Structure 1
Amino acid sequence: MPWAWKRPTAYAAYATCVCTAAYGLMKLAQALGANALADKDPLPPDLRRRLLARDPLFVASHWILFTLAIVGIVIALATIRPWGRRFPRWILLTATWTAGIFMIVRSLGPVGYGFVGDTLVLTGVQPPPPQHAELARHLARWDLMLWSPFFLLWGLLWTATAWRFTRTTRT
């Protein structure tokens, strides 16, 4: 079947690229030394301290995440562009479905941060340690307003891209 990249259903892949690029650029900025929302990253206090102190492990992780964002953009585009036929179909399907499901699960937060975890912290059902209570509530609010919705949108876009690719490349 021809790979029609001008169909309206291909827009999910383009929107996936936009979200991936935004995340990747934020990680690049952090790798180069900018704060770029690093202080809003929902991490336990000890890891948060290391992140803000520019621990070499975190700097390296930012470079790795930036590189993965570039790979993600290529994968999303490969599902709708003719040159994407050079990639094995199973690799593109595995990558797109896995990314989408992972991000949706992260946004829901059955364990830790996400809509469920943040709500449990903010309502007091799962109170954080007293010495970090205010920081935990602050980070939970940021996660509830910014990160969880972003990861949910991004995950839904990845799954829409995967679904479209699955349907358009069936033999």
Structure 2
Amino acid sequence: MSRPDRARVGGYGAAVCAAAYGSMKLAQALGANALADKDPLPPHLREQLLARDPWFVASHWLLAGAAVVGVIVALATVRPWGTRVPRRLLLTIAWTLATFMIARSIGALGGGFVGDILLLTGVRPASVEHAELAHMLARWDLLLWSPFFLLWGLCWAAAGWRLSTASRGQAVFASCPGTRPHPSID
């Protein structure tokens, strides 16, 4: 794989992660379980989620729609038609999502690798009435959700880095066969 192709992996990776997340949320909105019982939520919210509370169903539709937008934005960082989008807007979105997702995976927003390990090792005890559920959700978060959000965040960071390091006159999309840089790359 050539260097320009490797540099594009972040944008494509962010698009694939957004599509996977959006597909899961769409399935949940349509009534499928699709890992809903593994969502690391507080017990009362988890019960509402599993009972298909209208607010949760609506939130799944919104998240599925946001994921579609995420796919489009991620692809805009690597495809020639993305030059029509202001570069600063793409940079802001990419770096904001990278920061949020990496922080979520590490545990700065609760849970994450740090929170899960603290809970599973007993350093941060779970409530007695929900201890078994908390441990099960922490294991799922540690093995699935946190690594997924870390990967997704790193993909956004790679996409943002690629856009950041391209100079104004340099073709960000030079690695796309048969394309020329758009005059308004910024």
Q: Same fold (TM over 0.5)?
A: yes
- Opposite residue 150 of structure 1, the aligned amino acid is F
Question: Aligned match of 1:101 in 99, 102, 110?
Answer: 99
Q: Secondary structure at the match of 1:162?
A: helix
Q: 2:45 is matched with which residue: 47, 67, 76?
A: 47
In terms of fraction of residues, the more helix-rich structure is 1
Aligned to 1:3: none
How far did residue 111 of structure 1 move? Answer: 4.5
SS of alignment partner, residue 123 of structure 2: coil
Hey, what's the Cα distance between the residues in 2 that align with 1:50 and 1:144?
Answer: 23
Residue aligning to 1:75: 73
**1:7-156 correspondence runs (5 A):** 7-156=5-154
Counterpart residue identity of residue 28, structure 1: L
| TM-score w.r.t. length of structure 1 | 0.93
Q: Residues 105 and 28 of structure 1: is their aligned pair in 2 closer, same or farther, counting only changes over 3 Å? A: same
TM norm structure 2: 0.86
Between Structure 1 and Structure 2, whose CA radius of gyration is higher? 2
CA RMSD between the two structures: 1.2
Match of 1:161 in 2: 159
1:148 match: secondary structure: helix
Cα distance in structure 2, aligned partners of 1:159 and 1:59: 30
CA shift in 2, pair 1:111/1:161, >3 Å? closer
Tell me, which stretches of 5 or more residues in structure 2 are unaligned? Answer: 170-186
Count the aligned residue pairs. Answer: 166
Q: Distance in 1 between the 2:5 and 2:121 partners?
A: 44
Per-residue deviation, residues 71-118 of structure 1 (Å, max 9, x unmatched)? 111111111111111111121111100111100000001342100000
Is 1:100–1:154's contact at 8 Å kept on the other side of the alignment?
yes
Aligned residues: percent identity? 64
> Is the Cα contact below 8 Å between 1:24 and 1:66 reproduced in 2?
yes
Instruction: Identify if the C-alpha distance between structure 1 residues 54 and 169 changes in structure 2 by more than 3 Å, giving closer, same or farther.
Output: farther
**For the residues of structure 2 that align with 1:74 and 1:129, how far apart are their CA atoms?**
41
Q: Compute the displacement of 1:148 (Å).
A: 0.4
Q: Distance in 2 between matches of 1:25 and 1:169?
A: 35
The runs of at least 4 aligned residues of structure 1 exceeding 3 Å deviation read none
